Amino acid sequence: MFRLSKITDYGIVLLAHLAKRAPGLGTQATSHNARELASEVDLPVPVVSKILKSLTRAGVLESHRGAKGGYSLARRPEDLSVVEMITALDGPVALTQCNMGTEVCEHEGSCAVRNPWQVINQVVRYSLSGVTLADLINPSFSAQHAPLSSLGRYMQGEPPRSRVS
């Protein structure tokens, strides 16, 4: 199947919720704990906790342990792309296994489509890297088809704006 896992789906919902609820960056003051977030988003606590841990390990969130601890965004929503969220939760964005890098494809000799797939992957990656967390929580975004503008910038040679420099 082409769709991504529920964990990734939930994770993006959580990030959007965090961005909406605490626009400020990750100080202790703006952090929310897993139980609180779970009830707000209406998902089981262990699941939310697991997702938040993954996002923290990937550097998307910051964690504060101990009493009054919790999670908060590690970056501004404008600086967090959809590609990075998906990568953090689901691994690298690659449509075919040949493009995963590490493992060797045993059909390499007879495989005629390796390079084209790489181009396709690149296009998908770039289109998704043009959409940021800030876009996701912007109500006027969906109506405007905004990601296309970032694609336009990409086509003119400009790197996607969400890229961390």
CA-based nearest residue to 128, from 138, 139, 117, 120: 120
Regarding 6 and contact with DNA (CB under 7 A), the answer is yes
Residues 58-77 that bind a copy of itself (CB under 8 A): none
Run of H or E residues at 122: helix 114-129
Tell me which residue of 82, 89, 2 sits closest to 52, measured CA to CA.
89
Is 21 a binder of DNA (CB under 7 A)?
A: no
With CB under 8 A as the contact rule, the residue among 6, 35, 68, 163 that binds a copy of itself is 6
With CB under 5 to 8 Å by kind, the binding choice for 127 among a copy of itself, DNA, none is a copy of itself
Of a copy of itself, DNA, none, which one does residue 58 interact with (CB within 5 to 8 Å by kind)? Answer: none
Measure the CA–CA gap between 22 and 20, rounded to whole angstroms. 6
Q: Which is nearer to DNA, 83 or 135 (CB)?
A: 83
